[in-house]
Amino acid sequence: MNLDLRTAFPNFENKLIENLEDKAEIKVFEPGEILMKTGQYFKSILLIVDGLIKVYREDEEGHEYFIYYLQPGQACALSMMSATRQEKSEVLGKVVNRTTVIAIPLEYMDQWMHDYKSWYNFVLETYRKRFEELLITLDHTAFRNMDEKLIFYLKREQLIHHTSILTINNTEVAQELNSSREVISRLMKKLAERGMIKQLKNQLIEIVNLDY
């Protein structure tokens, strides 16, 4: 395995790294590909080495609701739970940037929990962080006005992508915030009028100051 796993997972013990290099498989996904589907059974646990994944929850009509990002050094807690219980996935994962993952066969999940303290801590920390992110997302998308939801969305995009210049598709934003393209377009214009963003060409915006 020609990857520097110690950089992506610096807290893993050397022996665990060696096992990952020996037992896990490298997989590469391109932007737009589906990493995990709602209703599928998992054959492995996926750890993100490089790239960016968006995780969604789908309703019965197929509408997608964004819940959190997966970045290098992370794993999806919901997929881990579904995999270990041999249950179908309840989330959808889409590749944002070209992404490299290591796929760990399910048989090692529980075994490594006993054998390696760093793996045990990683799994618990994954559950904790994803739960906190779910609560934050719920707070900002269920109990706020739409303009507050949009500002939260833009702040998160700015933080994740490490840039103030964002590519924003109003239709996609509307889907993720359970709104309409017309409402999002109107609110974007309102934010621009208040000097909080600048609307550029080709679906680009510049974040100026999203603080009230």
pLDDT single digits (tens) 105-125: 888 888 899 999 999 999 999
Phi, psi of 199 (to 5 degrees): -90, 115
Average pLDDT over residues 123-145: 82
For the chain, give every domain's residue range: 5-141, 144-207
The hierarchical CATH code for the domain 5-141 is 2.60.120.10
What's the pLDDT at 150? 92
* Architecture category of domain 144-207 in CATH: Orthogonal Bundle (1.10)
| pLDDT above 90: residue 176 | no
Average pLDDT over residues 49-64: 86
Average pLDDT over residues 81-109: 87
This prediction's pTM:
0.79
What's the pLDDT at 1? 54
What's the pLDDT at 94? 93
What's the pLDDT at 116? 94
Q: Please indicate whether the domains covering 5-141 and 144-207 agree at the CATH topology level.
A: no
